[in-house]
A and B are shown apart, each in its own frame.
Chain A
Amino acid sequence: MDAILLQILNGLDKGGAYALIALGLTLVFGTLGVVNFAHGALFMLGAFCAVTFNKLLNLESVVIDPSQTTAWGTPLEVRTPYIEALLGDFGAYLHDYSVPFSILLAIPVMLIIGIVMERGLIRHFYKRPHADQILVTFGLAIVIQEIIKHFFGANPIPQPAPMAFGGTAYVGEIFGMGQTLAYPWWRIIYFLFSLGVIGAVFAFLQFTTYGMVVRAGMRDRETVGLLGIDIERRFTVVFGLASVVAGVAGVMYTPILPPDYHMGMEFLVLSFVVVVVGGMGSLGGAVAAGFLLGILQSFASMNEVKAIIPGIDQIIIYLVAVVILLTLPRGLMGRKGVMED
């Protein structure tokens, strides 16, 4: 029982990341009709927003203090981060919470990147065949990831979670099972965070007038256009929104997985599978399939399962995708008439 619960928990945070990326992919696909292979790169850019923010906070002044010496007898170098010198305790606090605070940096940055991407490149590809869209965004993804590699190097850069959430949570106690079920706090936070973001996106689409127009545009953009609404502009904003969602998903994922330049590609391939399993163009399907595949993947990596079918943990997601695509042509919750061929 414990083992099963633990695997479900394990799947939830990974599933959260899949769901967030898949949600953005589906939004872009549903509104603009564009298959965006560069979406994983946006996730990675978000993660590197956190890295940059942390680096900024870590800029320090080095003062040589002649009155103290190190163990080797050389004068001691006292390093104080500027931020602590400037803001005192609040600075230290900010430093500790650098990952969550970098969301504040990531949101405007990702919004701008998303809108520039859409206006500058993607908009020329609405009418082009899907193969062309795949190719151009694939090229763009390579460009983004190589630029990041140039500036940040090829090695993963670990990011610390805030001290308060660095430890483990005894989840078992909540269910009255004693201390047997321990789980890192930050992963639980990530799961709750992803739920929050997903909820916010759905609320935005469901309960605001803006979101209503966007949904109407997803159904029939021509009619919405005929009603005198500049639907293109709204779709641009939606692209920005999708890129923000991918970005913050990346920011919060950094303490779980140290970001490197190709993390986006790995997540992208899986997220595409998630989108296809959920059903092209279905937001709910993307979220459900994200969590489902995350949990399935963590079950497949249990030793008991691996003993029966070796290597299943490596291929389970792809296997599920193949089976679903062959049995349910529209995915789990695909809408009728969207990319049915």
Chain B
Amino acid sequence: MFKGLSRNDWIMLAGFTAFVLLMPIILQPIGAAYPALMQKFCIFGIFAIGFNILFGLTGYLSFGHAAFLGVGSYAAVWSFKLFTMNIIPAIFMSVFFAAIFAVVIGYVSLRRSGIYFSILTLAFAQMCYNLAYSVLTPLTNGETGLQLTLRDPRWIDAMFHEPGAGLPRATLFGLETSGGGLGGFYLCAVALIICFYISMRIFRSPFGMMLRAIKSNQNRMRYTGFDTRPYLLAAFVISGVYAGLAGSLMVATDPLAGAERMQWTASGEVVLMTILGGVGTLIGPVVGAAVIKYFENIFSSFGPDTLHGVFSFLPDTIENALVSFLSLFVGEGWNLTLGVIFVLLVVFMPGGIIEGLRRLWVIFTRRRGGGDAVPAAPHPQPAE
């Protein structure tokens, strides 16, 4: 198991692990060190890492990944309702159902590529979303969302002890994960580190190389005698499983599931996270997810009053104009900021944050020691 990764990779993995586990301390100065937010960093990090295995390596842009997240969430809540509040079976159920969905959807969608693939995945995700809202209401509880109730059987739990008063909390063999404690955060953090490690192994493996070859020239791969479809399907299912895992962790930290998680705007969000961080880079998607969730948290809590407070040193007329302009972007208008970032990013920095940092690094080192030319940017290519 220790073969295949270079020394740099191990250093990176160790650094990543240390950072994630120490987040409650490191993030203190920027006010992000409370578990609910750090959980989000980890969960969406997992989601984005998984999406990146498909989009970053193969170039297939899926617009329906949120469906797997939703399926995973529903499966986990049902495991809580039917069997036990322990999260291990819930995670297995989520992953299992997400994988089944991914196999079916992937098998059909991967017959086409390019924009057709995007539309097909979008169509499947919308189907799941619409069905969850309408016919499947007995399974999904429609608009209200699926929640735990006192009447749930919880067969396995009932065998061992009497149900207590009130709704039980999700646990990992006694360690409470829901309810906003650090337990939930460390569960997600460990999951994130494992996912990161697996993604790193995939990136460095011959399998990952194969996926990259598909991205750069699928036809040539076919001419050399490879059937690319099994590789693509494997990548699709792996990324679907990541999304299912993210969904189950969402439920493990907050036991409810709603259909809006499957909406295509949710799929768009994970695309944005991956691109913001850097498509096809290892660490990029996690960075992108964390940055977006962090700023979402800050911006949406801002209101005109806070803005007035910030700019109170200015003359009244300028202050009012500035505040009314800026209030477009904060609070309820957070989505607008997101859209603007999206556009600017794709126009000016298609490589994302990681690519930007790399360029800065190159400029910095060249000035010092007269290094080599700028390395070529890993530019996302369409799947042809």
Contact = CB atoms under 8 A, between A and B. Distances in A.
Interface of A: 35, 121, 124, 129-132, 134-136, 138-143, 146-147, 149-150, 265, 269, 272-273, 276, 280, 310-311, 314-315, 318-319, 321-322, 325-326, 329, 339, 341
B275 to A, nearest CB: 7
Interface stretch (B20-28, B42-50, B330-338): B330-338
Contact of B264 (A35, A135, A269): A269
Contacts of B265: 265
Interface string B361-384: 000000000000000000011111
16 contacts: A129-B380, A129-B381, A130-B114, A130-B382, A136-B342, A139-B341, A142-B335, A146-B335, A272-B119, A276-B119, A311-B131, A311-B136, A314-B127, A314-B135, A325-B120, A326-B111
Interface string B130-146: 11011110000000000
Contact of B340 (A35, A143, A280, A326): A143
A318 B127 contact: yes
The interface centre, meaning the residue of A130, A139, A318, A329 with most chain B CB atoms within 10 A of its CB, is A139
A246 to B, nearest CB: 19
A321 B108 CA distance: 12
B53 interface: no
B123 A273 contact: yes
Interface string B330-364: 00110110111111011100100000000000000
B122 interface: yes
Contact of A325 (B116, B338, B382, B384): B116
B147 interface: no
Contacts of A138: 268, 271, 342
A276 B200 CA distance: 36
A149 B336 CA distance: 10
A132 B113 CA distance: 15
B340 A139 contact: yes
B308 interface: no
B342 A139 contact: yes
A341 B338 contact: no
Interface residues of B, number: 49
Contacts of B293: none
Contacts of A315: 126-127, 130-131
B271 A135 contact: yes
Interface of B: 59, 61, 108, 111-116, 118-120, 122-124, 126-127, 130-131, 133-136, 264-265, 268, 271-272, 275, 328, 332-333, 335-336, 338-343, 345-347, 350, 380-384
A329 to B, nearest CB: 7
Contacts of A325: 112, 116, 119-120
Given A132-B380, A149-B332, A150-B336, 12 more contacts: A121-B343, A132-B346, A135-B275, A138-B268, A150-B328, A310-B135, A314-B127, A314-B133, A314-B134, A322-B124, A326-B112, A341-B113
Contacts of A124: 347
Nearest to A138: B268
Contact of B134 (A142, A311, A322): A311
A322 B339 contact: no
Contact of A142 (B112, B339, B347): B339
A132 B332 CA distance: 27
Of the candidates B108, B119, B268, B271, the one having the most CB atoms from chain A within 10 angstroms of its own CB is: B119
Given A269-B264, A311-B134, A321 B123 contact: yes
Contact of B336 (A129, A146, A272, A280): A146
A131 B118 CA distance: 9
Given A139-B346, A315-B131, A276 B116 contact: yes
B336 A147 contact: yes
A314 B130 contact: yes
A227 to B, nearest CB: 30
Contacts of A149: 332
A131 B136 contact: no
> Which 10 A-B residue pairs are closest in the complex by CB-CB distance?
A139-B342, A142-B339, A311-B135, A146-B336, A314-B130, A143-B339, A129-B382, A318-B123, A139-B343, A136-B346
A108 to B, nearest CB: 25
Contacts of B115: 35, 130, 134, 280, 339
